[in-house]
Amino acid sequence: MMLINLAYLIAAILFILGLKGLGSPRSAPRGNMLGAVGMLIAIIATLINKEVMSYTWIIAGIVVGSAIGAIMAKRVQMTQMPEMVALFNGFGGAASLLVALSEYSKVAGHYHNALVADAGMAAPQWSVALLLSAIIGAVTLTGSIVAWAKLQGYADKAMQLPNQSLLRAGLGLVLLVLCAWFVVKPEMGIVLYAIALVALLLGILLVIAIGGADMPVVIALLNSYSGLAAAATGFVLNNNGLIISGSLVGASGIILSKIMCKAMNRSLGAVLFGGAMVSDEQMANIPGKEFYEGKVKSCGAEEVAMLLENAQKVVIAPGYGLAVAQAQHVTQELADLLEKRGVEVKFAIHPVAGRMPGHMNVLLAEAEVPYDKLVEMDNINPEFSQTDVTIVLGANDVTNPAARDDKTSPIYGMPILEVDKSRTVIVIKRSLSPGFAGIPNQLFINDNSLMLFGDAKAVLQDLTRAVMEL
Ligand code: NAP
C-alpha cells in the first residue's frame, strides 16, 4: 500500500507540474506530456493494487473506451472541441455516479446480512462521500448532455421554463431532505436512487436556462464538477490518487471559469443564474444591417497587398472565423512572406477569441507559428498605435470598440483588442453578419477600416499571391 501511495504522490507532482506547463503555449506540450505520464503511473499503481480481483472487465473497458475515444478524437473538427469536452465531462460525471451506486450495492449486502453495526463503511462520512459522488456525478452527467445538445444546435440556446428558479430551489430542498434521510438510515437504498434521480433532473434545470456566449463558461464549470465528483468518489473508494487528481481538476476548472468570466466581463453568478447575456430591452435596441448602410468601404486583395508591402509593422488579430475557415496554415505562409520582405509581424491573442480558451493558440501552434509571435491582449494593445496595418482575421466581438466606448452596448466592459488604434485596419470576413454576441461592430465603419470580404482561407491565398506578384 505504501508503494502505491508513493506512486500516487509522484503522479500528483507530475499533474501539478503539468498544469503549470499548460499556462503558456511554449510549455504546454511538455505540460501535457508530464500530466499524461502522471496519469499512466496512477493507473498502473491502481491496477497492481491487490484489491483488484479480475482484470477481464477492466481490460474490456480499456479496449472499448480507447477505441471510441480514438475515433472521436480523430473525427472531431477544431470548431467542435467544446462539444467534445462537454461529452467528456458528462462521461466523468457518469463514472462517479455509477461507482457510487455500485459501491453502495456492494455494502448493501452487508446491511441485508444484518451487519449494520460493524460495517465501518456505514459511518456517516462514508455516506456523505457516497452522496456527493452520486449527486455531483449526476448533475454533471445531465448538465453536460444539455450543454452538448445546445452546442450541437439540438436544443434552444437559453430556455426559460415557467417558475424556473422556484423549481430549482424546490428540487434543491427535496435533495437536502433525502440526503439527511439517507445519512440517518443508510440501509434505505431506495432513497439513494431517488437522490440520484432528483440530481439528474437538477443538472438539466441548472444548464437549460444558460445560453449564448456563456456556454463555454458552463463547460469549464462542469469540468470542475466532474473533478469534484471524482474526488468524492476517491473518498468512497479510499483512493488517494483519485482524491488528489479530482481535486486538481475541480480547482483548475473553477479558476478557468473565473478567467473566462473576467475576459467576457461577466460574473459567475450572472452566468449561472442571470439567464440571457443580452436582455430583451437591449435586444430590441440592437440595430440591424441598416447600421452599416453606405458607410462600409470594401477593397480587393491587390489593394491590401500594396498596403502590406509598404508597412513596417503588421499585426494579425485572429478570431473564430480563422477556425471555421481552417486558414491557420495559409496565415503562417503570409506572415512568413511578409517577414522575408522585412515586415515585422505579430499575432494579437484575445483570451476568448474563438469558442474555447486557448482556441487561437492551438490553431496557430498547429501551423507552427513561433510562440514569440503570439502576443497576449494586454501586451499587444499598447502596440496598436505604432502598427501600420492590422488584419482582423475572422474576428468580430473581440475587436468591437463598443465594448470600450458604448455604455449601452450588451458587451460594454468586455476587454477588447484595440485594433482600431492602428493606422489601417483590414477586416477579413464573409459578410457583415454579427459575431457571437449578435451585435453590429463599429470597427467596420471606422474611417481607417477596409473590409476584404470572403472566406478567410480563400482571401489569404489571393492576398499571398498578390504580395508575391508585387
Ligand atoms: P465572433 O465574434 O464570433 O466572430 C467571428 C466572425 O468570423 C463572424 O463575424 C463571421 O463573420 C466570421 N467568419 C466565420 N466564418 C468565416 C470564414 N470562413 N471566413 C472568414 N470569416 C468567417 O468571434 P471572435 O471575435 O473570435 O469572438 C469570440 C466570441 O465568442 C466572443 O463573443 C466571446 O465572448 C465568445 N466566447 C468565446 C469563448 C472562448 O473561450 N473563446 C467562450 C465564451 C464565449 P461572417 O459570417 O460574416 O464571415
CA dist 458 and 452 (Å) reads 11
Tens of pLDDT along 42-67?
Answer: 999 999 887 788 899 999 999 999 99
- Name 261's Cβ contacts closer than 8 Å, sequence gap at least 6: 217, 267, 268, 271
Confidence of residue 357 (pLDDT cuts 50, 70, 90): confident
Tell me the β-bridge partners of 427.
Answer: 392, 451
Burial class (CB in 10 A: 0-12, 13-18, 19+), 287: exposed
Tens of pLDDT along 384-432?
Answer: 999 999 999 999 999 999 999 988 888 888 899 999 999 999 999 999 9
- Which residues are identified as catalytic? 397
- The pTM for the full model equals 0.79
Across 32-36, 108-112, 278-282, the highest mean pLDDT is recorded for: 32-36
Contact indicator for 234, 170 with CB cutoff of 8 Å: no
pLDDT recorded at residue 155 = 73
Q: What is the mean pLDDT of residues 369-385?
A: 94
Confidence of residue 340 (pLDDT cuts 50, 70, 90): very high
pLDDT recorded at residue 114 = 42
Q: Report the atom number in ligand 1 closest to the C-alpha of 400.
A: 25
396 lines ligand 1 (CB under 6 A): yes
Lowest mean pLDDT among 87-101, 272-286, 356-370, 427-441: 272-286
The amino acid that residue 253 corresponds to is: G
pLDDT recorded at residue 71 = 93
Q: What is the mean pLDDT of residues 217-232?
A: 93
Average confidence score pLDDT of the chain: 89
198 lines ligand 1 (CB under 6 A): no
The conformation of residue 274, written as its DSSP 8-state character, comes to S
pLDDT recorded at residue 110 = 59
Instruction: Give the mutation target among 397, 425, 431 for probing the ligand 1 site: most ligand atoms within 8 A of CB.
Output: 397
pLDDT recorded at residue 209 = 81
**φ, ψ for residue 365 (rounded to 5)?**
-65, -35
With 50 as the cut, is the pLDDT of residue 115 above it? no
Å from CA of 394 to ligand 1 middle: 6
Tens of pLDDT along 142-162?
Answer: 999 999 998 888 876 667 777
The amino acid that residue 233 corresponds to is: T
* Domain extent listing, the chain: 1-75, 86-273, 289-469
Share of the chain above pLDDT 70, in %: 93
Q: What is the mean pLDDT of residues 25-47?
A: 92
Across 94-103, 251-260, 364-373, the highest mean pLDDT is recorded for: 94-103
Contact indicator for 225, 139 with CB cutoff of 8 Å: yes
The amino acid that residue 435 corresponds to is: G
pLDDT recorded at residue 80 = 82
Lowest mean pLDDT among 8-12, 165-169, 391-395: 165-169
Contact indicator for 26, 256 with CB cutoff of 8 Å: no
CA dihedral of residues 94, 100, 103, 108 (deg, nearest 10): -130
- C-alpha cell recorded at residue 455: 472566406
Tens of pLDDT along 254-295?
Answer: 998 988 888 877 788 877 775 555 566 666 667 777 889 889
Q: What is the mean pLDDT of residues 129-150?
A: 95
Confidence of residue 244 (pLDDT cuts 50, 70, 90): very high
Å from CA of 92 to ligand 1 middle: 29
CA dist 208 and 210 (Å) reads 6
Å from CA of 397 to ligand 1 middle: 7
437 lines ligand 1 (CB under 6 A): yes
Architecture of domain 289-469: 3-Layer(aba) Sandwich (3.40)
Å from CA of 5 to ligand 1 middle: 46
pLDDT recorded at residue 111 = 57
- C-alpha cell recorded at residue 277: 447575456
384 lines ligand 1 (CB under 6 A): no
| Three state DSSP letters for 313-344 | EEEEEECHHHHHHCCHHHHHHHHHHHHHCCCE
Of all protein residues, the one whose alpha carbon is nearest to atom 15 of ligand 1 is: 321
CA dihedral of residues 188, 194, 196, 197 (deg, nearest 10): 160
Name the H helices within 210-267.
215-237, 240-263
The amino acid that residue 389 corresponds to is: V
Beta-sheet strand order (sheet of 389-393): 374-376, 344-349, 313-318, 389-393, 424-429, 449-453
Burial 116-127 (b: 16+ CB within 10 A, else e): eeebebbeeebb
266 lines ligand 1 (CB under 6 A): no
Confidence of residue 383 (pLDDT cuts 50, 70, 90): very high
Share of the chain above pLDDT 90, in %: 64
Confidence of residue 320 (pLDDT cuts 50, 70, 90): very high
